Amino acid sequence: MYDRIVVALDESASAQMALGEAVRLAKLSGGVVYALSVVDRGRWPGEVSARFEFEPEPSAASNAATRIFDEANALFRESGVSGKTRAIDAYGESVSEVLARAAEECDADIIVVGTHGRRGTPRFLLGSVAESLVRSTQRPVLLLRHDGSGARTQS
């Protein structure tokens, strides 16, 4: 069924819900969960306008990734699921493009993503990583909408 399951993580409740669903799928199928967090510390160092630093200061985003990876690894151990975590620097590229490429690289059978389910003007103004991901990958994407009440809705 699903041997390689990619799940997108950030600090949101919807991402935690997606992680739980990815672990559930992995438990059912005996698959591996690849928990990915995309951090963006700016432009690629090779760009003319960017200044390269050999040891950049840890950012709030990378510190958050460490916290969510600790939680993900604890969930993997508790549930007996094989899982791997990885932070990927976007270097100014969109989060959805980075996730789509990472899913291709690990030959994911499915990508699990949480979404806030915003509609109308708020979604237009904020953009939607989930919507953009669905449009930019050929891989199946399972969207889980978090409505703020703790209830889970699959899209």
Q: Provide the whole-model pTM.
A: 0.79
> Which CATH architecture fits 4-44+56-154?
3-Layer(aba) Sandwich (3.40)
pLDDT at site 127: 40
**Annotated domain spans of the chain:** 4-44+56-154
* pLDDT per residue as tens digits for the range 74-131: 999 999 999 999 999 888 889 999 999 999 999 999 999 998 755 554 444 334 788 8
Strands (E), 4-92: 4-8, 32-39, 82-89
**What's the burial of 133, exposed, middle or buried (CB within 10 Å: 0-12/13-18/19+)?**
buried
pLDDT at site 33: 98
DSSP string, 16-31: HHHHHHHHHHHHHHT-
Residue bearing the bigger pLDDT, 119 or 134: 134
Residue bearing the bigger pLDDT, 146 or 38: 38
Could you tell me which of 142, 146, 148 has the C-alpha nearest to residue 24?
142
* pLDDT per residue as tens digits for the range 56-71: 455 666 677 788 999 9
103 phi-psi bin (left φ>0, alpha ψ -120 to 50, beta other)? alpha
